[in-house]
Amino acid sequence: MRGSDTSENLLVRKMESFVRVSGDDIAALDKIWNGTRHSVAPQGDIVREGDPPGVIRVLMKGWACRYKLLGDGRRQIISFFLPGDIFDLNMFVLKKMDHSIRALSPVQYVSLSHIEFERLTIGHPRILQALWWETLVNAAIQREWTVNLGQRSALERLAHLLCELHVRLKVMGLVEGNTCEFPITQIELADTLGLTAVHVSRKLKELRSRCLIRLNGNQLQILDFDGLCQIAMFDANYLHLDREEAIPEAKADCG
């Protein structure tokens, strides 16, 4: 329904998913959303390890990821950024970035200086609260990824990641029916899940053959969300969607 409307202000939608915002708040968010757009091609770095933290960025379109490289070339993807996600909020306290961020698909973002950020939050306490919430949910996601990598098997890990991404995209209105964009290669999945691309391929095949998902090219279709949740032992609590104004569709899918 709203999912394909690329002009929708996802920043408003994100804030609304946390708190009730006023018309005045929305005007402020629209001003940010309509600021200068920056574009980055797939595989392009947005932030590099060692850089001084500069601005706060809001992802308008496309997917990005945080990642870290080890000395011998191994790479771990640490988190995904989806449209509407905010990154490097508060990071300006630190001197240097300890990781890099790169585009996974064609990306557009707007950026916000420290000053603009302060001006926004001082005038709009509800927005400040929503930004807090967003920050804490991101921390909770990072903890859940720790659990995922530490305890779950390859199949469970993969299923868990798909569940999480599906719910996060749904909250932002980016799932049509049960289908969403999925601009991620198997190599990237492998670097996310601590597996090899070969094994990701095997396990995707298994999910397909068990009629849980369909995945062609960039389109992911979730055929049996409950089944996936069960394999993954997915419990959406950590996404903290249980606020008063919770989005109903997002809750209905998984007990």
Partner DNA sequence: TATGACCAGTAACATAGGTTATTCTGCTCT
Partner DNA sequence: AGAGCAGAATAACCTATGTTACTGGTCATA
Summarize as ranges the residues that interact with a second copy (CB under 8 A). Answer: 66, 68, 70-72, 74-76, 78-79, 90-91, 93-96, 98-99, 129, 132-133, 135-136, 139-140, 142-147, 149-152, 191-194, 233, 237-238, 240, 242-243
Q: Which single residue is written with the structure tokens 């298994």?
A: 206
- Partner from a second copy, DNA, none contacting 34, C-beta within 5 to 8 A by type: none
Q: Which is nearer to a second copy, 65 or 180 (CB)?
A: 65
Q: Which single residue is written with the structure tokens 């990701």?
A: 200
Q: How far apart are CA 108 and CA 98, in angstroms?
A: 23
Shortest Å, Cβ 186 to DNA: 3
Q: What angle do CA 34, 46, 114 make, to 5 degrees?
A: 55
The candidate with the shortest Cα–Cα distance to 87, out of 115, 58, 61, 107, is 58
Q: Which is nearer to a second copy, 35 or 194 (CB)?
A: 194
The separation between CA 240 and the C-alpha centre of its own chain, rounded to angstroms, equals 14
Stretch binding DNA (CB under 7 A), from 45-53, 55-63, 115-123, 149-157: 149-157
Which x/- pattern, by CB under 7 A, does the window 169-208 give for DNA? ----------------xxx------xxxxxx-xx-xx---
Binding residues (CB under 7 A) for DNA: these are 153-155, 185-187, 194-199, 201-202, 204-205, 217
